[in-house]
Amino acid sequence: MTQGPLTTEAGAPVADNQNSETAGVGGPVLLQDQLLLEKLAHFNRERIPERVVHARGAGAYGTFTVTADVTPYTRAAFLSAVGKETEVFLRFSTVAGNLGAADAVRDPRGFALKFYTEEGNYDLVGNNTPVFFIRDAIKFPDFIHTQKRDPYTGSTEPDNVWDFWSLSPESTHQVTWLFGDRGIPASYRHMDGFGSHTYQWNNADGEVFWVKYHFKTDQGIKNLTAEEADVLAGKDPDSHQRDLREAIERGEFPSWTVGVQIMPAADAATYRFNPFDLTKVWPHADYPVVEIGRLELNRNPRNVFAEVEQSIFSPAHFVPGIGPSPDKMLQGRLFAYGDAHRYRVGINADHLPVNRPQATEARTHSRDGLLYDGRHGGEKNYEPNSFGGPYQTGRALWQPFDAVAGGTGTHPTPRHAEDDDFVQAGNLYRLMREDEKERLVANLSGALADVSRDDIVERAVENFRRADDDFGKRLEAAVQALRG
């Protein structure tokens, strides 16, 4: 803003911003006080709907640098040469809390990354966990209802949370992860990020690879115990947000080493786990993480509302050489985000500086709508046209999926040789050191102690027992000790 007198929204100078205009001294306020009316009316419209999930978050800009040649696997231009840099914006978040909720809570963290590439914006909307609670998008609204406030009590209800989890055994892996040490990161800087889903990469020859993204924190993993988090959440609800902003202000730019697991397309059908099941990881022994880049955050947003609150990320924002997989969760997400953006920020949300392409321009025939910025001037708004308008390329961003078998139907996600709902949860438990197991069991039993119904608790414990017998027995004993 330039120096000068305060003005109205229309730019007229303001004489008095302390006293409203009245009919005489001590008299009622006049309708002609346009400044007062404008201020009150604008204030009433300051909020937009908060995100239905991941409402609470913080963001920063930065740079992604390619460190390895991945051209045998993808033709994405921003990944085309070692040393190539791309500007990014990353928004971190918690999932269940509302906009004003505390940061230091047990909850997955969002890790939503926008690459401003020369072929359009590529969004990778991931979490700090490699897996998720469910494997079909049709269960997502029900799942989130159990994480949010109960319609009758208006509070989050442990009964709802554990009722859903215990009846959805595919959540056992993610719940084991969430109640372990990494369930409460000390800050956004001290946690890893994951694309979580399997995505398609395709190279210049049209060959297909399935990939999973990993972002390993260079700051080292740091977590909070349940007790530390309880204290911090009360003392400094904005702890994660403040930590990120202040680190960047100090010039301590957080960074992540970026890697991918790469599966040749032909492996997918016969791999021991269904590679498109979001409740499963690909063990690194099968597909090692190959380092491909470095991500650094180095610039704070200047205005949190404009750049963080109004930022939009969509798993459907792909660029040439990258696409979706048949993962049913991902397929649902391809619809959900754009739809949320149109409702939450509006049909022209992609015109805002944080959301629009920075290294290319959007050339569409879409026009008008609320807050249209007039970017197309008088250009023709249809295709085909003979006036030199934008044209289709004839090449899809991603390769077709292999032939699909069978008829339409509400088919469960296909199971591969070693798929069940418990094997990877058990593997995770068995990987833990003794002290980690103790904290996991203490965290889970503490949470289950708040559940009112025995049948829900018993069903939950049974899922962990099916993951690992020792896990189940210890949890049962700990729960009994607390519940009597």
Q: Which is nearer to ligand HEM, 337 or 398 (CB)?
A: 337
- Nearest approach in angstroms of CB 316 to ligand HEM is 12
Token digits for 254? 């957080």
- Nearest approach in angstroms of CB 328 to ligand HEM is 8
- Nearest approach in angstroms of CB 408 to ligand HEM is 20
Question: What single-letter DSSP state applies at residue 417?
Answer: T
Cite the annotated binding site by residue number.
337
Token digits for 255? 């960074």
Q: List contacts with ligand HEM (CB under 6 A).
A: 51-54, 57, 91, 93, 110, 112, 125-127, 132, 137, 140, 196, 311-313, 329, 332-333, 336-337, 340-341, 344
- Nearest approach in angstroms of CB 305 to ligand HEM is 13
Cite the annotated binding site for heme by residue number.
337
Known catalytic membership, residue 127: yes
Q: Which is nearer to ligand HEM, 343 or 391 (CB)?
A: 343
Ranges assigned E (strand) in 248-398: 255-264, 290-299, 322-323
The C-alpha angle 473, 223, 300, rounded to 5 degrees, equals: 145
Q: Which is nearer to ligand HEM, 317 or 474 (CB)?
A: 317
Tally of CA atoms within 13 A in the half-sphere of 205 that contains its CB: 5
The one catalytic residue among 121, 127, 274, 443: 127
- Return the sign of the alpha-carbon dihedral for residues 149, 280, 176, 165: positive
CA-to-CA dists, residue 82 to 65, 204, 262, 438, angstroms? 8, 17, 18, 44
- Nearest approach in angstroms of CB 272 to ligand HEM is 22
CB 74 within 8 A of CB 322: yes
Ranges assigned E (strand) in 166-301: 193-194, 199-202, 208-217, 255-264, 290-299
Q: Which is nearer to ligand HEM, 232 or 312 (CB)?
A: 312
Number of neighbouring beta carbons within 10 Å of residue 22: 12
By beta carbon distance, the residue nearest ligand HEM is 110
The one catalytic residue among 17, 19, 42, 54: 54
Give the residue from 347, 325, 351, 327 showing the smallest Cα distance to 338.
Answer: 347
CA-to-CA dists, residue 67 to 254, 382, 425, angstroms? 17, 41, 33
Q: Which is nearer to ligand HEM, 39 or 344 (CB)?
A: 344
Token digits for 172? 């056992």
Token digits for 271? 């791999």
Tokens 């899922």 label which residue? 463
Could you give the residue numbers annotated as active site?
A: 54, 127
